[in-house]
Amino acid sequence: MDKLNTIKIFLYENKKKLVIICALLAIMLTMTLLFLNKNSFKTESLVYENVLEKETNDTDSKEEEKEYYYVDVKGAVYVPGVYSLEKGKRVVDAINEAGGVLPDGDTSLLNLSLELEDGMVIIVYTNKEVATESSNNASPCNGELINNACITETPKVSANVETKSTSKETSSKININKASISELVSLPKIGEAKAKAIVDYRTKNGNFKTIEDIKNVSGIGDATFESLKDSITV
């Protein structure tokens, strides 16, 4: 009983101090809990931001790995123009990108499954163009404009005509009434300007009757004719 009374007396006499001590302990405990919670929140946020940044970097890396080609789609399509397509796409994808084939379009001469290359020219011919050329035993693919999508492109004569100019085979000669500018420039002493002049002349005056008529084109004289006469035909 004496000990119990002693404790009661002690508590009674020091109750203010005990209240202050308890209050301080409560404040310290509260601050400790708040500090721990704050650090825990920061850690979780930091981890989340790092994951987000990593995912963004991975996405950007995949986008940079893609390679694109530019192709020029012309002719009987709804929206002709230059289009950018991912590497691995086909001619049919480029035509679809241009809105598809018009009702009077004809793709029978085109290789729709051909894989695209950068800088390709794709021309969709009309039914009339295909029918007209076929009646003349020709093909619009052999016209002035190069069409990289044609099933069979016109064979190109080598620029080294010194070895081919002596050939007597008509099939190896260039028809100056049908040759495109890119074919004409393969002839000796014929640059792009003279090739364009040849095309302009036959457009204005009609087909050449003989190979000698090519001398009527401005810039083509006797010397030039002598160097290319064995390489051309009409």
Give the H/E segment covering residue 58. helix 15-65
What are the sequence ranges of the domains in the chain? Answer: 2-65, 68-142, 170-233
pLDDT in tens, the chain (234 residues): 667 777 777 767 777 777 888 888 889 888 888 877 765 555 444 444 555 566 666 665 555 678 999 999 999 999 999 999 999 999 999 999 999 999 999 999 999 999 999 999 999 999 988 887 666 667 788 877 889 999 864 444 444 444 444 444 445 788 998 888 888 888 888 888 888 999 998 888 889 899 999 999 988 888 888 888 888 998
| Fold of the CATH domain 170-233 | DNA polymerase; domain 1 (1.10.150)
Is 122:91 a contact under the CB 8 Å cutoff? yes
The residue type found at 5 is: N
- Which pLDDT belongs to residue 157? 40
What is the value of pTM for the model shown? 0.41
- Which pLDDT belongs to residue 53? 60
E-strand ranges in the chain read: 68-75, 81-86, 105-106, 121-126, 174-175, 232-233
| Fold of the CATH domain 68-142 | Ubiquitin-like (UB roll) (3.10.20)
**CA–CA distance, 221 with 213 (Å, rounded to integer):** 11
